[in-house]
Amino acid sequence: MPNMAVRVMVASRNYADFASEATFDIKKCDIHRLEEEPPTEAVLTREEGLQYNRTMQTIRRMELKSDQLYKQKIIRGFCHLYDGQEACCVGLESGINPTDHLITAYRAHGYTYTRGVSVKEILAELTGMLQFFSLYIAFFTEIFPYFLVFQGQIFETYNMAALWKLPCIFICENNRYGMGTSVERAAASTDYYKRGDYIPGLRVDGMDVLCVREATKFAADHCRSGKGPILMELQIYRYHGHSMSDPGVSYRIREEIQEVRSKSDPITLLKDRMLNNNLSNVEEL
C-alpha cells in the first residue's frame, strides 16, 4: 500500500506539470461566396487532445485490423478503409452536436465509430456476424467522395438545398484519387469547394483535426443561423487503395505515400503539437 500511495502521488504531480491548454496557428481556409471565414487559430485543451489522439489511434488500429481480417478472408466483399483520413471524422464530430445527423458514402468506418458504435460492433458488421445498425438516416451533414462532384445528381441536390435554404453541410472528402484516377486527370477544375456555385464553400486542410474542427463549427453556425447550405472540401489522403481489391500502387508510387505519412499524418501532427506544448508526454500518447 505505501508503494501504491507513492505511485499515485508521483502520477498526480506529473499530471499537474502539464499545461491545461495551448493555442495553435492553423492553415487558412480558401473561401467561396463568404464574407467571413473560419479562424486561423485554435485552442486545444489537454483533455481534448488526449481524446482526439485516442479516437484517431483507435480508428487507425481498427482499419489495420480490418485489412488483416480481409486478407484472412474473414471479411468478404467490398471493404473501403479510412486510415490516413482520421482527422476528418474526429474533427467534424467535435464541431457539431451529437443530435445532428450524418449521411455518408461507403468509406464510413471512422464516422460510425465517432457516432458511438463500438469497434466490436463495427468489426462484427464487417465480418457478417452482426447486422443491426443503420446509422445515417437523416440529413444535416452530407459526406461524399470527390468523384461524386462530376455526377448530375449532386448539382440537383445543391440546387434544392439552396432553393429551400436547408441547414445542410455538404462535405467533399478529396483524398486525391477516385478508384485509380487522380483529381488532375478527372477534372478541368479541382476547386471542388466552388462546385456548389451559388452555395458558399470552404477548402480545408483535412489532415489537421483542429482545422477540420474549426471549419465545421463555422459551417454549422452558418447553417444554424438560417443562411442555408454550405460546402466543405476536405483535402486528405488515403493510405490504402480505393478498396481492398486495389493495391493502390499502380497509379501512384510508394514514395508518395511515405512522404505523406512522414510530413502530414494527422495522428503524428496532433502528437507533435501536444508534446511541443507540454500538453502530454510520449508515454501518455
pLDDT at 3 over 50: no
For residue 145, what is its C-alpha cell?
Answer: 467522395
In three-state secondary structure terms, 92 is helix
Q: Binning pLDDT at 50, 70 and 90, where does residue 61 land? A: very high
Q: What is the pLDDT of residue 178?
A: 80
Could you tell me the fold of the domain covering 28-276? Rossmann fold (3.40.50)
CA dihedral 64, 67, 72, 78 (to 10 degrees): 150
Most distant CA pair in the chain: distance in Å? 70
Which run of H or E residues covers position 170?
A: strand 169-174
CB 126 within 8 A of CB 120: no
Q: Report the pLDDT averaged over residues 74-92.
A: 94
pLDDT > 50? residue 139: no
pLDDT at 133: 52
Spans of all domains in the chain: 28-276
What integer pLDDT is reported at residue 100 of this predicted model? 94
Is pLDDT above 60 for 104? yes
Q: Are 231 and 196 in contact (CB under 8 A)?
A: yes
How confident is the model over 76-102, as a mean pLDDT?
94
Which tens digit of pLDDT belongs to each residue from 213-265? 999 999 999 999 999 999 999 999 999 988 898 888 889 999 999 999 999 99
Is residue 16 very low, low, confident or very high in pLDDT (cuts 50, 70, 90)? confident
Query: pLDDT for 258-268, tens place per residue?
Result: 999 999 999 99
